[in-house]
């Protein structure tokens, strides 16, 4: 099946129910999203004028896509099949940005070549590990800036949102209104400078509707693990929320008591940081699929009408 190419324009800067869809597709469709980098490709060299950047054009997303049959209360499973990235990666940092922003005295712009599966950062060769920084559906309430993560997804900056994984997002409005952007050639947990290796690119996905899904979303399934992802004003709050979401999932799906669920998570689960630099901080909780198998819980990514 040839993927449907999502129109590259107009770009959107918030996830919103008021955006008109750029394309409508049936459940089970293959889609390719062409994306700009997080600065909307404004930086083409290290000599770019940082002060002249238009900060209203940061974190643009391609979409939204209306998925026929997706109704409020459903989940949208996004199978990430392929991420292709451009030939250069951009990074910036400076005063007020990232965890060193309180000590940095000047703005810095860097442009790094991407070639042969590597990003050359000075004398260091960084393996390319493409991932999606911004991906989400439209919230039922107020629009949410693409710079902010939340229950709808958005700017989760979770490095495991990469090819070979399935992201599950809530459907809060008819059609879901899926959009994405902000690709990274690589990004470490935390995204501590305020940037990953920012790149333009193309993402090919399959979208599937999971009817009337009561799971604590967003969730991510890799080949070996399941993750609950949560964002909040502080890391403490995000960590608690991600853990409680996984506990609630085990209670609902396996019939465990709250005490037994959190005890199991304390023994074999792993609480991890995704990012600390967005308006809300993001954590994830990791649990091996083998544990879910032993509990008799089917793989979440396999449960949809289109599978």
pLDDT score for 305: 54
In terms of domains, do 121 and 174 share one? Answer: yes
- Number of Cβ within 10 Å of residue 102's Cβ equals 9
CA–chain centroid gap for 79, Å, is 12
Together in a domain, 162 and 283: no
What integer pLDDT is reported at residue 307 of this predicted model?
A: 41
Examine the domain organization and report whether 159 and 98 are in the same domain.
yes
Token pair recorded at residue 80? 């990430």
Which residues, 6+ apart, have CB-to-CB distance to 122 below 8 Å? none
Are the C-beta atoms of 260 and 242 separated by less than 8 Å? Answer: no
Cα–Cα distance between 213 and 211 in angstroms, integer? Answer: 6
CB 212 within 8 A of CB 74: yes
Cβ-contact 282, 188 below 8 angstroms: no
182: CATH: 2.60.120.580
Specify whether 49 is located in the same domain as 89.
yes
Q: Is residue 132 part of a domain?
A: yes
Measured between alpha carbons, how far is 185 from 182 in angstroms, rounded to an integer?
Answer: 10
Q: Using an 8 Å Cβ cutoff, are 191 and 93 in contact? A: no
What pLDDT was estimated at residue 214?
A: 92
Same domain, 35 and 179: yes
Ranges of residues in the chain whose predicted pLDDT is under 70: 305-307
The rounded distance, in Å, linking the Cα atoms of 28 and 99 is 41
Q: Is residue 146 part of a domain?
A: yes
Q: Which domain holds residue 273?
A: 219-302
Total domain count for the chain?
Answer: 2
Do 31 and 4 form a contact (C-beta atoms < 8 A)?
Answer: yes
CA–CA gap between residue 104 and residue 95 (Å, rounded): 5
- The verdict on 30 and 176 lying in the same domain is yes
Are both 128 and 44 inside the same structural domain? Answer: yes
What is the structure's pLDDT at 47? 87
Domain edge (last residue) among 210, 230, 250: 210
Co-location of 129 and 261 in the same domain: no
Apex 302 CA angle, 298 and 304, nearest 5: 120
How distant, in Å, are the alpha carbons of 152, 173, 266 from that of 243? Answer: 18, 27, 10
DSSP character at residue 267: H
* Co-location of 154 and 232 in the same domain: no
Which among 210, 232, 262 is the end of a domain? 210
């Amino acid at each position: 099946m040839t993927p449907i190419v999502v129109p590259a324009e107009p770009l959107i800067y918030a996830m919103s129910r008021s955006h008109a869809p750029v394309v409508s597709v049936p459940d089970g469709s293959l889609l390719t999203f062409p994306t700009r980098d997080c600065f909307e490709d404004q930086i083409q060299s290290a000599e770019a004028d940082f002060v002249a950047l238009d900060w209203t054009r940061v974190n643009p997303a391609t979409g939204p896509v209306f998925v026929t049959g997706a109704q409020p209360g459903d989940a949208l499973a996004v199978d990430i099949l392929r991420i292709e990235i451009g030939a250069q990666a951009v990074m910036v940092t400076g005063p007020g940005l990232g965890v060193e922003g309180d000590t940095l005295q000047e703005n810095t712009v860097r442009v790094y070549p991407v070639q042969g599966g590597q990003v050359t950062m000075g004398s260091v060769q960084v393996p390319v590990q493409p991932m999606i920084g911004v991906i989400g559906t439209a919230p039922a309430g107020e629009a949410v800036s693409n710079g902010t993560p939340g229950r709808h997804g958005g700017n989760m900056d979770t490095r495991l949102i990469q090819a070979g994984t399935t992201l599950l997002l809530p459907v809060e409005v008819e059609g879901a209104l899926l959009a994405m952007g902000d690709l990274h050639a690589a990004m470490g947990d935390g995204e501590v400078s305020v940037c990953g290796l920012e790149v333009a690119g193309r993402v090919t996905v399959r979208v599937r509707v999971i009817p009337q899904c009561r799971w604590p979303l967003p969730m991510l399934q890799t080949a070996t693990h399941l993750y609950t992802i949560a964002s909040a004003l502080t890391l403490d709050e995000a960590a608690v929320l991600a853990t409680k979401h996984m506990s609630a999932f085990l209670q609902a799906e396996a019939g465990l008591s709250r005490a037994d669920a959190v005890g199991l998570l304390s023994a074999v689960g792993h609480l991890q940081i995704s990012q600390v630099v967005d308006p809300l901080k993001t954590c994830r909780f990791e649990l091996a699929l083998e544990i879910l198998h032993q509990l008799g819980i089917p793989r979440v990514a396999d449960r949809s009408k289109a599978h």
